[in-house]
Structure 1
Amino acid sequence: MISIVDDDDAVREMLVSLTRSLGYDAVGFASAEEFLASANFENFSCVITDIHMPGMSGFELQDQLHQRNDSIPVMMITARTEPDLERKAISGGAIGLLRKPLDIEMLVAFIERALGN
């Protein structure tokens, strides 16, 4: 199951629909806090998260997952253009960073790599 964490309803719904159209189960969350509190938390195989969200950021979510010793693959997405974001995401353990508008082929490649396909 794939977790989509993004405070932008349209982006979150698009990503959930896209991943489902590829044959994967996907669940959307409007915040990192909502994802971490999920009853199904243990069932997720990868996380696609926005970096900049109200409350807990994608970077903070990644840190929380590391503190829980959870090795779930994390892919970060952002509309921001700061050049150091990719370095920060990768050095924090993310397997990649995609900028919005999303490159769907790269997103699919991430999902396949994260799930070992």
Structure 2
Amino acid sequence: MDRKLRHTLCSTGPGSRSTRALPLIQTRRFLLADDDAEVRLGVADLLSDLGLELLHAQTGLEAVELGRRGDVHGALFDMHMPGCTGTEVISILRQERIELPCLVYSCRWSPGLEQSVLAAGAMACLKKPVEPDLLRRAVREALGLGPENHN
């Protein structure tokens, strides 16, 4: 990048000497963890318009490994997966001081399940099948994205 252009793009104000690079576009990586491949692909399709890079995990242990990468910005965990549950994945990541905005969903939703999921540190517990608009809204909120534009 041209040095003068870089300075112009990276300056924080008049007379600023800051030369740190500012990301112009940041790809958001979102982890989908569900042992049912068809469900993962369906969720990926529902989220395709958000412009996310989606990472897929089939087991709770795969979800933990992907969560440890350090470049994942949010996650949706199925509650019941081989290896460990969605709340166990969250607990493992929290124990390792990995603060990943997480959502959990389950076809066996109950108020008690929701309470335990929220206590584990998830932002929300969603009931499968999830309404597409509710899922998109929850993911946008987890990632800190603004509201959708309906033009």
TM-score (norm 1): 0.91
Runs of 4+ in 1 over 4 A off after TM superposition: none
CA distance in 2, matches of 1:77, 1:105: 15
Q: Measure how far apart 1:94 and its partner are.
A: 0.5
> Aligned residue for 2:135?
107
Question: Does the CA-based 8 Å contact 1:19-1:25 persist in structure 2?
Answer: no
> Aligned residue for 2:88?
60
Question: Does the CA-based 8 Å contact 1:48-1:76 persist in structure 2?
Answer: yes
> Which runs of no fewer than 5 residues in structure 2 stay unpaired?
1-28, 146-151
Aligned residues: 117
The 3-state SS of whatever aligns with 1:84 is helix
> Aligned residue for 2:19?
none
> Which runs of no fewer than 5 residues in structure 1 stay unpaired?
none
CA distance in 1, matches of 2:144, 2:86: 23
CA distance in 2, matches of 1:41, 1:80: 30
Instruction: Please give the root-mean-square deviation of Cα atoms over the aligned residues, in Å.
Output: 1.6
User: Over alpha carbons, which structure has the higher Rg?
Assistant: 2
TM-score (norm 2): 0.72
| Amino acid paired to 1:32 | G
Percent identity among equivalent residues?
27
